[in-house]
Amino acid sequence: MENTAATKIGLVTGGSRGLGKDMALRLADHGHDVILTYQTKKEAANEVVRQIQDSGRKAAALPFDAADFGSISTFVEQVKSELSSTWQTNRIDFLINNAGIGATIPFEQVTAHDFDLFLNIHFKSVYFLTQALLPVINDHGRIINISTGTTRVGVPGYSVYASMKSAVETFTRYLAKEIGARGITANVVAPGPVETDFNNGGNRDIPERKKFLASMSALGRVGKPEDIGGVVAFLCSDDAGWINGQRIEVSGGMSL
């Protein structure tokens, strides 16, 4: 029941809003079908599904809480069930690990709870969800893990977030090495500051912060979601098949 060449399916975690929403829409623009996940924003997720369906592609939204490590096996079974009922297949082609949270927490104020929460959402769930879904991904598929520009440029208050994303970047290189025999590529997309509601919408809604961040980019502005989604869609294309184990920063030239 593998997918036909004409129908490829991507799974985007955290696809109800922000960067994940644009990734899902751009995959559909490139002719792919999409399963997206949401944690609490079911109506927003269903609206993304509607937009994708209006474009002529198939889509579905499933609940997934990346902080709940114990829910991974149940979620994978839901994915399999959705694939069977909606697509009459048991495979996906692309996995985009995008779901995440943001918070600016000075190092001296970080608690063990903060650390464990970011660990579970940004690294542990990415690691083990990928492991659980690997048998469901077609040979010659794509795995894309979303990181951050703050793994390269230190930003006070991001020590926990960036540390977990750094772990994901290392994991991605090892993943590419270990699954390469199946023709599956694994890459990292690392956005710079983007105007979304991530981390309380600070990059979008605080003028002073937005102006400062824009001044750090060679292109003189803060990113928009559509600056990121197209790169993810490209990495899922045949043209990107020789890109593997790479960290691709999409920041407009931040802190060069």
CB 210 within 8 A of CB 167: no
CA 154 to centroid of chain Cα atoms: 21
Q: Which amino acid is at 230?
A: G
**What was the pLDDT predicted at 130?**
98
Cα end-to-end distance, the chain, whole Å: 47
Mean pLDDT, residues 228-254 taken together: 97
The CA angle 87-69-164, to the nearest 5 degrees, is 105
Residues near 200 by beta carbon (within 8 Å), at least 6 away in sequence: 102
**What was the pLDDT predicted at 175?**
98
Is 202's pLDDT higher than 90? no
Sign, Cα dihedral of 190, 114, 79, 44: negative
> Six-digit token pair at 181?
């025999």
Is 2's pLDDT higher than 90? no
CA distances from 211 to 140, 158, 200, 221, 252 (A): 42, 19, 17, 8, 14
**What was the pLDDT predicted at 204?**
54
Within 13 A of 229's CA, how many CA atoms are on the CB side? 22
**What was the pLDDT predicted at 203?**
55
* Closest among 176, 178, 179, 183 to 244, alpha carbons compared: 176
Q: How many whole angstroms separate alpha carbon 186 and alpha carbon 76?
A: 20
Work out whether strand 59-63 and strand 92-97 pair parallel, antiparallel, or are unpaired.
Answer: unpaired
Dump pLDDT digits (tens) for 72-87: 999 999 999 999 999 9
Report which DSSP code applies to 248. E
* Closest among 247, 253, 224, 225 to 235, alpha carbons compared: 247
CB 7 within 8 A of CB 33: yes
* pTM given for the model: 0.93
Catalytic positions are 161
pLDDT over 90, % of the chain? 84
Q: Which residues of 109-125 are buried (b: 16+ CB within 10 A; e: fewer)?
A: eeeeeeeebbbbbbbbb
Tell which CATH classification among 3.65.10.10, 3.20.20.100, 3.40.50.720, 3.40.50.10540 matches the domain 9-249. 3.40.50.720
CB 59 within 8 A of CB 49: yes
Is 199's pLDDT higher than 70? no
CB 226 within 8 A of CB 22: yes
Q: How many whole angstroms separate alpha carbon 34 and alpha carbon 154?
A: 34
